[in-house]
Amino acid sequence: MTKNSLLQTSLLFVVTLILVMSLSILSNRIWGGKPEQLQQVKKPQVELEMTISQFGQVNELPNSVLKEIFELKAKSDLEKKLNEYGTPGQISDKVMKKLALASEHGSKNWIKIPVKFGLWFVFLATIYFLLRKRKVTPRLRKWLLSISLLLFGVVMGSDPNPMGTIKDAIHLYGTTHAIFPPRLIALAIFLAIVFLANKYICAWGCQAGTLQELIFRINQTDTQKAVIGKHLKLPFVLTNTVRFIFLCVFTLVVFTWGIDIIEPIDPFKIYKPGYLGISGGIFLGALFLASLFLYRPWCQLFCPFGFVGWLVEKTSLVKISVNYETCINCQKCVTACPTTVMDALLRRDKKTIPDCFACYTCRDICPTDSIHFSIRNRTFPPVDFFTKRHKDPAISK
């Protein structure tokens, strides 16, 4: 590579991040209104001899909220004693649960969310059509990734997102034992998309995932070579173990201390920079710098939805498969694949198959059209497939 191409790649990387953050700040100001940021619910002060009215005054709760929490029928019920509603712990839990759900509801933009899901369905259907028709070239892939992160991240904001449906659900339940139904509906929709087509929402719809992949593709030539440094492929046993341990630690810390360890380093905050602290800014800077060399580092190493999606992916209807009758074992798909999944899919000699992010690079590079993204079942290679010699039709010409 020339020094000029190295310089161009470096500048494009920096400009991409600056544009994303700048446009996100502008977009946040335009949307205004809903902060999409939960308020911390404090444990209320409870004394059983208090009346409900006194309890509200001490904890700064209006009568309308008290009426809902304690299911009051008349205004005179405000003079009832707290000891009629259980122990201090029971009352405290009930209040925190109600306030947490109210905070969740108040933090959402209920106009933007259904619009965003509608746009997701249209965009993902369009991508699927283009993939099936083999229209996605390396150049078009970069444009599609750019459109995705701009539309679902910059314009429509960081919330909702696939990771948040799991992370925030665990945190809410761990701290208040509350369940927010709309979030479970969103999670069900995201997992349904994974079930229909493996990791499809992660591949083309997740605003943090598409930004990482775009950065990875920026540092790549038309021949799949890295412009700066070298592209790395970490073993799946390593990445998935780290991801599982991280999810366990996150859950344990939430249920033990009520702390969300992901919140300060949440990669989706790139789309609301005003909430990024110093530690978060440093972490995201390192994360996106690593994305130049490692394919989707957050998705592979940390994302809770990435792990859960990988489990659901085992049952996906539409997935990558290999036709061994036409495959010539040229290994081009294995080389071009940004992770180790294509090697596992080609050889089928391991029970555990890594995440497949449906980027379709393998099919783009296949000279014999032996790789398919369809509902066909994955088969195993013939016994002597990797020992006998195969003739490449491209070479014979």
Confidence band of 395 (pLDDT split at 50, 70, 90): very low
Asked whether the bond before 162 is cis by omega within 30 degrees of 0, the reply is: no
Domain map (residue ranges) of the chain: 3-35+110-311, 52-107, 318-396
pTM (two decimals): 0.89
Mean pLDDT lowest among 103-112, 228-237, 250-259 = 103-112
Whether 231 and 290 have beta carbons less than 8 Å apart is answered as no
- Judged against a pLDDT cut of 70, whether residue 392 lies above it is answered with no
Confidence band of 60 (pLDDT split at 50, 70, 90): confident
Please give the pLDDT value at position 391: 58
Please give the pLDDT value at position 38: 54
CATH architecture entry for 318-396: 2-Layer Sandwich (3.30)
Residue carrying structure tokens 């300060």: 264
Tell me the pLDDT tens digit for each residue of 142-176: 999 999 999 999 999 999 999 999 999 999 999 99
Whether 158 and 27 have beta carbons less than 8 Å apart is answered as no
**Token pair for residue 135?**
């229209």
DSSP 28: H
Its sign, for the CA torsion 190, 191, 197, 199, is positive
Please give the pLDDT value at position 2: 46
Whether 260 and 171 have beta carbons less than 8 Å apart is answered as yes
CA of 306: how far to CAs of 45, 194, 242, 302, in Å? Answer: 39, 10, 12, 8
Tell me the pLDDT tens digit for each residue of 16-52: 999 999 999 999 898 875 555 555 667 888 888 889 8
- Judged against a pLDDT cut of 60, whether residue 3 lies above it is answered with no
